[in-house]
Structure 1
Amino acid sequence: MKRENEDHLFKWVDEALLEEIRMVEEKCKLVAQDVNALRMEVMGTMKVHNINFKKMEDAISNKIMKTVGLASVILCSIVWLWGRV
């Protein structure tokens, strides 16, 4: 036995589910866009940090080289002076 409203009820549920699916799809698209935007922002930040890290590394390397050079000059001077005594 079939009721008159039964087909209408199932159509309504189907339509409601389709609407929900469409809403979820739109939300997923927005989340995907947000994730992509965040990924691009993080990549940009990482590039800036890598550049800054390289600059700091170069600065530290230069300071170390200057310190080693100065220490070498002082050591050579001490050895030279010690040999003269």
Structure 2
Amino acid sequence: MPQIIIASQFADLTNGRKTWALPCTTALQLMDGLRVDEPLLYSAIVEGDYCLKPFISLVIDDIPYADQEPWNEITLRPDSTALIISAVAGG
């Protein structure tokens, strides 16, 4: 099952959970799983029709993905790792 790892600043939205696994084969299924299992996290990172909010990045198996790529076309393997990170720079 693909492993999901989130940036530590999102842990408050998931009751401290920073990593878990979801049965999915595409990034769209991954995001749908987050919407159901972790609605606070989902609403913090996604806006509109499956578009990541500014400064949020989705990296799957060391490959960053942009919003222009349809999530249903981004495949995940059983051993995939999906990172959800915030790219906000400090001042």
**Range class of TM-score, shorter chain:** under 0.3
Which of the pair has more CA radius of gyration?
Answer: 1
TM-score (norm 1): 0.16
Q: Report which of the two has the higher share of strand.
A: 2
Q: Report which of the two has the higher share of helix.
A: 1
Higher relative contact order (CA 8 A, sep 6+): 2
